[in-house]
Amino acid sequence: MAITGPVPVVADRALLPPAAAAAGVAARPAIPARSATTAPVGPDGNTTCSLKEKYGKPCQLLGKGANGNCWLVRRHTDHKVFAVKEFRRKRESETRREYMKKLTNEYCIGTILHHPNIVETLDIIFEKGHCYEVMEVCEGGDLFEAIAAQSMTQDESDCIFAQLIHGVAYLHSTGVCHRDLKPENCLFDANNHLKIIDFGSADVVKSPFETQCRKSTGRCGSGPYMAPEEFTQSSYDGRKVDVWACAIIYLAIMFQRFPWHAAKPSDPNYASYVKSGCKTKFFDRLAQGPRELLRHMLEPDPEKRYTIQQCLDDPWVKSIRMCDECATTTTTTTTRHSHGRCSNKSSKK
| Rounded Cα–Cα distance for residues 286 and 268 (Å) | 22
Element (H, E) at 133: strand 130-135
CB 240 within 8 A of CB 251: no
Active site residue 123: no
| Beta-carbon-side half-sphere exposure of residue 53 (alpha carbons within 13 Å) | 7
CB 6 within 8 A of CB 20: yes
Distance from the Cα of residue 309 to its chain's centroid: 18
Phi then psi for residue 300, to 5 deg, are -60, -30
> Is there a binding annotation on residue 206?
no
Query: Pick from 189, 91, 314: which is nearest to 306 by CA?
Result: 314
Catalytic residue among 12, 44, 158, 180: 180
| Rounded Cα–Cα distance for residues 216 and 168 (Å) | 16
Q: Binding site for ATP: which residues?
A: 85
Q: Binding site: which residues?
A: 85
Which residues carry out catalysis? 180
